Amino acid sequence: MMRIWKFGDKVDTDAIIPGRFLTIYDEKELAKHAFEGIRDDFSRLAQEGDVIVTGRNFGCGSSREHAPLALKGAGVRVILAKSFARIFFRNAINVGLLPLVCPDTDQMKDGQEITVREREGKIMVDGREYSVEPVPEFMYRIVEAAGLVGYAKELKEAPLCTKSRR
């Protein structure tokens, strides 16, 4: 079961992972401190597949990659928001976390069950269907490869040409 963790507007990277933990680089260790000070139960209760649902400008503030890493380490794979800070959006993709823009996040509540059909552009919450903005295919491939490093490794290992040279 995927469950919603609901947050409001302008959740900055300092709220996602406080600055005093920026010496940690392991995503599982970072996850122990995710939302510390604003939602202390998150690190203890978040489960694999849970979804963050939030308002506008999620991930504003500093450009640290620690914020999406902490969420990924906690088992989050998708974040739904009305809008994202540009750098957070790219950092999320780069570490293998999928940020999806959804204009209807106000309708969703903390703890509700959610089904994400990202490639179809659909979200199901308690029997109601919502739409998300499409994400370019190459971004899905980066997320599926667990981030930009994994994606680059896959590209490096892929054959450059399948036709024989003459």
pLDDT at 157: 85
Higher confidence at residue 160 or residue 12?
Answer: 12
pLDDT at 162: 56
- Report d(CA 9, CA 15) in Å as an integer: 12
pLDDT at 12: 97
Give per-residue pLDDT as tens, 31-74.
999 999 999 999 999 999 999 999 999 999 988 899 999 999 99
- pLDDT at 164 > cutoff 90: no
Output the furthest CA–CA distance in the chain (Å, rounded).
64
Give per-residue pLDDT as tens, 39-48.
999 999 999 9
- pLDDT at 159 > cutoff 80: no
Q: Whole-number mean pLDDT of the chain?
A: 94
pLDDT at 166: 45
The full DSSP string for 34-95 is: TTTTT-TTHHHH--TT-EEE--SSBTBS---THHHHHHHHTT--EEEES-B-HHHHHHHHHH
Domains defined along the chain, listed by start: 4-157 (3.20.19.10)
- Report d(CA 124, CA 154) in Å as an integer: 32
The angle formed by the CA atoms of residues 146, 150 and 156, to the nearest 5 degrees, is 155
Give per-residue pLDDT as tens, 118-147.
999 999 999 999 999 999 999 999 999 999
- pLDDT at 6 > cutoff 80: yes
Q: Find the mean pLDDT for residues 101-128.
A: 96
The full DSSP string for 90-132 is: HHHHHHT-EEEE-TTGGG--TT-BEEEEGGGTEEEETTEEEE-
Helix or strand holding residue 138 (H, E): helix 137-144
Amino acid identity, position 116: V
Q: Are strands 78-81 and 51-53 parallel, antiparallel or unpaired?
A: parallel
